Structure 1
Amino acid sequence: MSSNQDIAMDMIKNRLEKNFKKLKSWSERNHIEAFRLYDRDIPEYPFIVDIYKDHFVVYDKSDFIKDKDKNHLPHVTEALKALFKTNDDNIVIKKRERQEGLKQYEKLDSKEQTFLVRETQAHLKVNLYDYLDTGLFLDHRPMRQKVFKTAQDKKFLNLFCYTGSVSVFAALGGATTTSVDMSQTYLRWAQDNFQVNNIDLGSHSFINADVLDWLRSQKAQPTYDIIFLDPPTFSNSKKMEDTFEVERDQEFLVDSCMRMLRPDGVLYFSNNKRKFKISENVLSKYKVKDISEESIPQDFHDKKIHCCFEIKNK
């Protein structure tokens, strides 16, 4: 290795070490086993590194044209091996391009290797190999806590529920939950997450449906106290009749949810479209508070990872 490479290697290793020192006591104190260690902090290292217990997921965000002459990925993996005394088997590399809609959930592999990570009050099942995402959106950690702390004796609805982690926290907080998703795979995963936390499935509903169709089919009855709505940015899934775009279709989503919300209830509307603008109609009809800043965890440098709104009846 040349002296330039040695310097570069030391640079990334030092940054990973510094970040870990900063996060270690926080993660241990809060019983958080899955968190973001590194997020493109150094321009020459366009990678994201997430820790899942003793495993590491490295998302390669390098630009094919701009970064074609640099191969800095081995520096990152070697630094992780040196710092954490780990090996290649525990480091998972993913090439993360901008994924639209449901592409982020497509299958990449069939290893079916899963394990549990602890997050504060819950244990959650992750799969680091088979999909681009792992089954756990780390950026929603503060929202899971917010739901947990306010869920006692409430009726909770989770739309586009994915693997149900927010529903798990609602149930652990004392809510009766309903989780809706188009994917049977993710709904089964959600039920697994309930079972590993010893939550009786009997008082919780898991509905396999296209959320847009399901919303159209619901009577406008104020049933729920808390609704968590986290749609994809865009979708043209084969299972859907029409395309979906979150900014374009937000009024239908929000109006449908608000019709099902009790008068003093709250809708949390989150999405990860960059530069998303909440509609003027939504702002005029409801009491809307942008809670994006407080909903992004401290281990995330990217403060635009998602936007989140708290919506209530006026």
Structure 2
Amino acid sequence: MSTDALVALDVGGTSIRGELLRPARDAGEVVDLEVLERVLADTPRGGAEPDGDAILDEIERVCKALLDSATSHRVSVGAVGVAVPGVVDTAAGAVHLAGNLGWRDVPVAAELSARLGVPVRVHHDVACAGLAERTLGAGRGVRDLLAVFIGTGIAATLTVAGMPVTGGHHAGELGHVPVREPGLPCPCGQTGCLEVYASARAIGRAYAAATGRDDVTSRDVVAALGTDPAADAVWDDALDALAHALLGAITLLGTERIVLGGGLSLAGDALVAPLRERLLARARVAVVPDIVTAGLGPRAGVVGAALATLG
């Protein structure tokens, strides 16, 4: 797609991050994305349940603010790329299910394009984040890559021999790999899934149960490490579960590098160092790869939405 600039958004259950970007190319490949303008907005909530219509309206507002700014930067916008969670049909431009956004069978691309007067493409947020990390982030130049994004849930993207592995709808659902038997029930219907032990939400809930407090999150756990035995125990249990799942993945895939992204990756070495220790202690067949945190941080979804749209 030929364009001077484009608008890219990463839409989550709590925030909407948007950027006006100008791509730089070398031999036809995108090698950089210059940020011309940024907008960060809260995702509207409709009481206990998400308000899908209000969220669509807010996405429109953010897009229009970025489109309006293009004039002052003297660029033309040829497209808008939107990364969203859930079950996404990129070819059809539809979101079949996004529980955190209150959407079911919503033709998001067509609706936004009609409102904005610009072509819109919709993509899956984790697929976008993985694309961004392997193209411009911490996975750049790595042929066999496992990028794991740990936030409210856990998902991964796979690159094998330099090619992304899609495998249909289910590839990358690391959060639903069973790691305990018998295990805690998961909303997916299975028991013992990684996500119910090692996601940021699960860690916060486990710490709340251990302390009797209801106002804590995974960030509180990380902040209390080394000073609160309850936090240490919750963290250790989560990392044990994560190491179990990752050992299976790297043994199967021969992964060269693991990139850890999502909100939990902000724990940095408090996450990476003990995770590496666990893998080194357990691995007998697999070679433990490099483990690094995401190079693009919270921008990975926006950058990936841009790259996927430029495609």
TM-score by length of 1: 0.36
The answer to which structure, 1 or 2, has the higher relative contact order (CA under 8 A, 6+ apart) is 2
TM-score by length of 2: 0.36
Higher helix residue share? 2
